[in-house]
Structure 1
Amino acid sequence: MEPSLLLSSPSSSTPLPFFLSNTLPFHSKPKLSTKFNCTLQKSHFWGSNLSWVPSQSHHGRPKLDAVRPIITAAVKRRKELPFDNVIQRDKKLKFVLKVRNILVTQPDRVMSLKTLGKFKRDLGLDKKRRLIAVLKKFPAVFQIMEEGVFSLKFKMTPEAERLYFEETRVRNEMEELVVVKLRKLLMMSLEKRILLEKIAHLKTDLGLPQEFRDTVCHRYPQYFKVVATQRGPALELTHWDPELAVSAAELAAEENRIREMEEQNLIIDRPPKFNRVKLPKGLNLSKGEMRKIMQFRDLPYFSPYSDFSGLRPGSREKEKHACGVVHEILSLTLEKRTLVDHFTHFREEFRFSQQLRGMLIRHPDMFYVSLKGDRDSVFLREGYRDSQLVEKDRLLLIKEKLRTLVNVPRFPKGPARRIVEDSMRESDGREDESGQEEEEWSEDVDNLLSDDDWSDEDDDDLPPDFDEDGELLEIGQGKTIKQDSRQNDEMVLLPVFADGRPREQW
């Protein structure tokens, strides 16, 4: 017989039975269960009667009476330092670019620190943070000027300003390439139309100018136009170009095919190449995970420019198309990377699933998701080799020059400090030589002053005589110095008034 305990509640006279059982099959510890106003009966585990059949809710959607199982990605994410270091080294550069974008909007590119204080929230700074201390950390980029007592202004250094003008000139020359990127982005969308506020999220990554809404979007009506929608202005495609509807993956596959054909024509017989999946070093996958990746890769390729309205959401074919779209957008970016949140803004245009981050992690052979920084970033793996881009754009070369200026320290350390120390040693050597010359010059002067008419018996270098009897004077624990009580009556000066009368001494 199972033990039972009856407790009476102070608020009512009805007994409250507690069912305590140590023979429950699913629990190693005793479980306390309650029943109100019921008879005590022997029963099995109460959760065995839960139904997993979906039922209709009041909204018409099916729901489960029990908790749904957690859905996890097929592959665990692995941390890779080469990609994470790319995010770390651009932290200071991103802050400098934000300040520069604010500065160039001012007349003559000169701005007061008081005006810059209004943008502290946009710069991610605390209210108590001193702007002058932050700007002084970049002495090769910003220059602080003092105008008046309480007026401090800053501007770019000549080298940083020269890089800014060069970047502006390169952006103007690359406007045609920017137009091609916008056309390809619109051609991949479902309705060939994207809101301008969504395109603005990829503005920096695609290399678009800051005012692209008023410049590029209106200069090429033969390719696209700005239309008004219920959710705001949008950019709509007006001309479909089949020559642009070729993805970067298709071009790379064609190049590999041509290369393999050239190798087959060689006389030397080569061992057959197995079609393997390139995975990052150290990523150990199980046979099941590797099988899923290979099966996904063997699926027919869906071009990101094809019509995907008939693909069923959640199917493997739809995920294949989504991976192709992400791959193509990353190939259009300057640094072959962007934020994961930027892709979430295009769920409606490209029919991305709600588990977009999980989809990117499931394909480590194509993408890498970094958790460094404020928001997660996604990298195109084939665009990098040991944290360095394989192909660098002209804008990226200018960006690297600016990064060099940002990394210039306020106080030199390391190699720069050694150069300063070497220069100090050289200056010390010059001081030693000058010291020897001064000694020789002083000896000559002493010889000139060796005459009795110019000499004086009193030595000015001796300390003053504080002992009248000429006794030994001890100073701390040092040597005992004997003081001579010699006095020269001729050199004693007595205090007198202006009319010559002697003055009383204290």
Structure 2
Amino acid sequence: MVLRNHTICYEIAKSLEKGRNLGQEIRRRISSLKVVWKKDRKLDEAIEQDKRYKLCARVVKEVLNEPGQVIPLRYLEKRRERLRLNFKAKSFVEMNPSLFDIYYDRIKPKSEPVPFIRPTPRLRAFLDHEQRIYADNEPLIVSKLCKLLMMAKDKVISADKLVHVKRDFGFPNDFLVKLVQRYPNYFRLTGLPEQGKSFLELVDWNPDFAKSAIEQRAEEETLRTGVRVRPNFDVKLPSGFFLRKEMREWTRDWLEQDYISPYEDASHLDQASKEMEKRTVGLVHELLSLSLLKRLPVPILGKFCDEFRFSNAFSSVFTRHSGIFYLSLKGGIKTAVLREAYREDELVDRDPLLAIKDNFLRLLEEGWQERKDKLKQQREQVHKDREILLVAKTKQPEEPDRLCD
């Protein structure tokens, strides 16, 4: 009997050891698959085009957060480094005449007047229109927020983290206040907001929201063709990009596996398994699909490792699956881009909330054109003044030579 028990224990230990070795072998095989990173100039250009827009948006946000939404120009000058302004604040205001007006006021009652800046009427009109766009697209915003919570572990996400990514997903500034009040059937704030430890919790699961972009696409193709289409990733390797035979075989086998929805419970999956890799790629794909520009900085995704059960090495999926994602290094920060969402440097399927960005860009371009026209008029006026002076000088009669006494 004792011998039998020892035998059973030995077999169990051997089985566990075999399982550990298998897990280590799978982890080794996946981690050893290396793909050479290749620059994609068009996708890099799409990111580069947003630099000026983002800078202007940061400065506008800084002014709007001030009491009365006005600020002394010299105070803004002191914040240049934080705002990443590489020229003087006054120059920025002059270069963007559609954003701010300069006026003079006193900082203290008896102090000398100094230049202040305030939003122009055109910027005020843009902000009013922005609120109307948010109101018109509120169902979309609610569905996005629900989807983020539905994919998260325990259906809870830190409120601070959600505030940090609100611009990436198109959430309004006051979404935690207004949406939670309007939709108590979906959302509940818990924790201690005054101590910065609040969390947004999903109250009710809506099955209509529990469909990923990949599953929706498969359903649409099935309805259109009449042939059942299996949900899977759209893999498009960039021009001139080749995979080694080992990686091609691994990718083929990996794609043949069943798609795992990011809305399914993944708590039973091993972090080193192919299934978990499939789920991680699917979840990142869905996060990028929900974002406004179909791209997100990798450090921002990294903030949600705990909520979405990402491993510490989750960022390797962006290079290992180069036909699905592109990892841009533009601007000194890693950005994960969804390849299928772009045709060269243009978004294919635009989020309705991008109308806000489009309106802001039109406002900026209007101001840039005004400044350009003003500078052109000034140059033309200087040229005219020079011509008038030259004509006047040539018409002056020459003084007769004086005779010596």
Q: TM-score, normalised by structure 2?
A: 0.78
Kept after mapping to 2: 8 A contact 1:138/1:410: no
Query: Is 1:93–2:53 an aligned residue pair?
Result: yes
CA distance in 1, matches of 2:402, 2:184: 100
> For the aligned residues, what is the CA RMSD?
3.5
The one-letter amino acid paired with 1:94 is K
What are the Cα deviations for residues 304-330 of structure 1, in whole angstroms up to 9, with x where unaligned?
111101000111110100111111111
Change (3 A) 1:417 1:386: farther
Q: Residues 96-495 of structure 1 correspond to what in structure 2 (within 5 A)?
A: 96-106=56-66, 109-125=69-85, 130-147=88-105, 151-228=114-191, 232-261=197-226, 277-407=235-365, 409=368, 461-468=397-404
Question: 2:236–2:339: 8 Å Cα contact kept in structure 1?
Answer: no
Deviations 1:256-311 (CA, angstroms, capped at 9, x unpaired)? 23333389xxxxxxxxxxx9943222212222222222221111111111110100
Compute the displacement of 1:207 (Å).
Answer: 1.1
Whole-angstrom distance in 2 between the partners of 1:137 and 1:366: 39
The structural deviation recorded for 1:409 is: 4.0
Please report how far the alpha carbon of residue 108 of structure 1 lies from its aligned counterpart in structure 2 after TM superposition: 5.1
Structure 2 residue matching 1:227: 3-state secondary structure: strand
Three-state SS of the structure 1 residue aligned to 2:336 is strand
2:103 is paired with a residue whose SS is strand
Bigger shift: 224-233 or 135-144? 224-233
Alpha-carbon distance change, 401 to 258 in structure 1, aligned in 2, over 3 angstroms: same
Amino acid at match of 1:398: I
Asked if 1 retains the 8 angstrom alpha-carbon contact of 2:147 and 2:209, the reply is yes
Total equivalences in the alignment: 357
Contact 2:168/2:292 (8 A) holds in 1: yes
- Higher gyration radius (CA): 1
Asked if the contact 2:105–2:116 (Cα under 8 Å) also holds between the matched residues in 1, the reply is yes
Identity of aligned residues (%): 34
Change in CA separation of 1:89 and 1:255 when aligned onto 2, cut-off 3 Å: same
- Within 2, Cα distance between the matches of 1:132 and 1:355? 44
Residue 213 of structure 1: how far off its partner (Å):
2.7
Q: Deviations over 1:196-248 (max 9, x none)?
A: 12222321111111132333234322112112279821111111122221111
2:199 alignment partner, SS class? strand
3-state SS of 1:154 partner: strand
Q: Which amino acid aligns with 2:218?
A: A
Q: Decide whether aligned partners of structure 1 residues 155 and 196 sit closer, same or farther in structure 2, where only a CA change above 3 A counts.
A: same
Q: Deviations over 1:355-374 (max 9, x none)?
A: 12211111112111111024
Q: Secondary structure at the match of 1:215?
A: helix
- Residue by residue over 1:106-132, the C-alpha shift from the partner in whole angstroms, topping out at 9 and shown as x without a partner, is 455332213324533431247xx5311
More helix by share: 2
SS of the residue aligned with 1:342?
A: helix
* CA deviation after TM superposition for structure 1 residue 72, in Å: 5.9
Specify every segment of 5 or more residues in structure 2 that has no aligned partner in the other structure, as ranges. 1-27, 107-111
Larger RCO, structure (CA 8 Å, separation 6 or more): 2
Residues 361-413 of structure 1: CA deviation (Å, up to 9, x unaligned): 11112111111024211111121112111222343233123224435548977
